[in-house]
Amino acid sequence: MDYFFLDDFKKLTVTCPPRHYKPFIEDKMVFRWIFDNLNNENNFKPRFYLVPKKELEKINNIKNPTQRDTRICSMLALSMFVTEKQAYERFKDIEDDMGDKIFDRLGTKIASGIITKNDGVNGDFDDFGHFNHHPVKNNNYSQRFQIISNLR
């Protein structure tokens, strides 16, 4: 697959995306935190490009290259959720720790959209209904997702 962040993957000492990540077999409705406007350039950027420099410095200072690069690989994925409820509940859990700065860093809305087998590969669903999605180039998520609810 021609991954969107392939140049970044090539810099890592681990296989990214991980080999066990797979495309969905059937189209799947998914949910993602976004900002107020669907055209905001940060809506479909991975966390790696959105975190403060201080946080990136901490990650880059991890001595074990495998641990460091596994973390970076995960941060190069788009966070998605299986249900709107799980997206909302996880956001509120994180908001308890981050406070109001969460709205500047992670978003203010929940959007839903369809991910197809041609859109990239996906990790396993965790206990929060979260999974990592590594997109291929030329995705048009901002046109395929719709805002469905507020996080504020």
Q: With beta carbons less than 8 A apart as the criterion, state whether 148 and 111 touch.
A: yes
Q: How many Cβ atoms from other residues are within 10 Å of residue 61's Cβ?
A: 8
Which stretches of the chain are DSSP H helices?
6-9, 53-60, 65-75, 84-98, 101-105, 141-144
Q: How many CB atoms lie within 10 A of CB 93?
A: 11
- Assess if residue 11 is contained within a domain: yes
Beta bridge partners of 32: 111
Residue 64 lies in a domain: yes
Let me know if residue 41 belongs to a domain. yes
What's the total number of domains in the chain?
1
For residue 62, the tally of other CB atoms under 10 A from its CB is: 14
> Whole domain around residue 111: which residue ranges?
6-150
Is residue 1 one of the residues assigned to a domain? no
Judge whether 49 lies within some domain: yes
Confidence tier at 1 by pLDDT (50, 70, 90): confident
Q: What is the pLDDT of residue 96?
A: 93
Q: For residue 52, what pLDDT band results from cuts at 50, 70 and 90?
A: confident
pLDDT digits (tens, 9 = 90+) for 126-141: 999 999 999 999 888 9
